[in-house]
Amino acid sequence: MASPSSPGDREKVVSKLPGWLRQEVKVRTAQLGVEIQVAVEHGLRDWCALASAPDAVDTTGADSFSTWLPPGQWEEFKAVAGQRQVSLTQGLARAMRLWLDKNPAPSVKRPEVPRRIVVCNQKGGVGKTAVTAGVGEAMAEGADVLHPVRVSKHFAAILPSEEGSDPLTLEDLPGLGLRVLLVDFDPQGHLTKQLGHDLLPMDGDSLTRHMAGEGMRDLGNLVVPIAEDRFGDRLHLLPSCNDAFLLDVKLASVRAREAALERALAAVEEGFDVIIVDCPPSLGLSMDAASYYGRRRPNEAPGQSGVLIVVQAEDSSADAYELLTSQIEDLRADLSLDLDYLGIVVNHYDARRGYIATSSLQAWMDIKDPRVVGVIGDLKEQKEAVRVKRPLLAYSPRCDQSVGMRALAREIS
Domain boundaries, the chain: 2-102, 115-411
In degrees and rounded to multiples of 5, residue 332 shows phi and psi of -55, -45
- The runs of H, that is alpha helices, within 270-314 are 285-293
The fold of 115-411 is: Rossmann fold (3.40.50)
Low-confidence ranges of the chain (pLDDT < 70): 1-8, 151-169
**pTM for the model:** 0.87
Q: How far apart are CA 61 and CA 374, in angstroms?
A: 42
Q: Decide: residue 112, CB within 10 A, 0-12 exposed, 13-18 middle, 19+ buried.
A: exposed
CB proximity list for 383: less than 8 A, separation 6 or greater: none
pLDDT of 3: 55
CB atoms within 10 A of CB 356: 11
- The runs of H, that is alpha helices, within 84-176 are 88-102, 128-140
Q: What is the CA radius of gyration of the chain?
A: 25
Q: Decide: residue 325, CB within 10 A, 0-12 exposed, 13-18 middle, 19+ buried.
A: middle
* Pairing, β 235-238 against β 224-225: antiparallel
User: For the structural domain made of 2-102, what CATH number should be given?
Assistant: 1.10.1220
Q: Are 122 and 287 in contact (CB under 8 A)?
A: yes
Q: At what angle do helices 315-335 and 355-366 cross, to 10 degrees?
A: 20
CA angle, 327 then 367 then 113, to 5°:
60
Q: Which of 142, 126, 114, 144 is CA-nearest to residue 190?
A: 126
- For 210-230, the pLDDT digits (tens) are 998 888 899 999 999 999 999
Neighbour-count burial for 4-39, b at 16+ CB within 10 Å, e otherwise: eebeeebbbbebbbbeebbebbebbbbbeeeebbeb
Q: How far apart are CA 393 and CA 382, in angstroms?
A: 9
pLDDT of 124: 78
Residues in the chain: 413
Q: Decide: residue 168, CB within 10 A, 0-12 exposed, 13-18 middle, 19+ buried.
A: exposed
Q: How far apart are CA 143 and CA 226, in angstroms?
A: 17
Q: Decide: residue 370, CB within 10 A, 0-12 exposed, 13-18 middle, 19+ buried.
A: middle
Three-state secondary structure call for residue 180: strand
* Pairing, β 11-17 against β 63-69: antiparallel
Q: How far apart are CA 357 and CA 251, in angstroms?
A: 39
Greatest alpha-carbon pair distance for the chain in Å reads 83
Q: How far apart are CA 234 and CA 219, in angstroms?
A: 18
Kindly list the strands in the beta sheet with 63-69, ordered across the sheet, starting from the edge strand earlier in the chain.
Answer: 2-3, 11-17, 63-69
Percentage of the chain exceeding pLDDT 90 = 64
Please report, as a single letter, which amino acid is at residue 396.
S
pLDDT of 55: 87
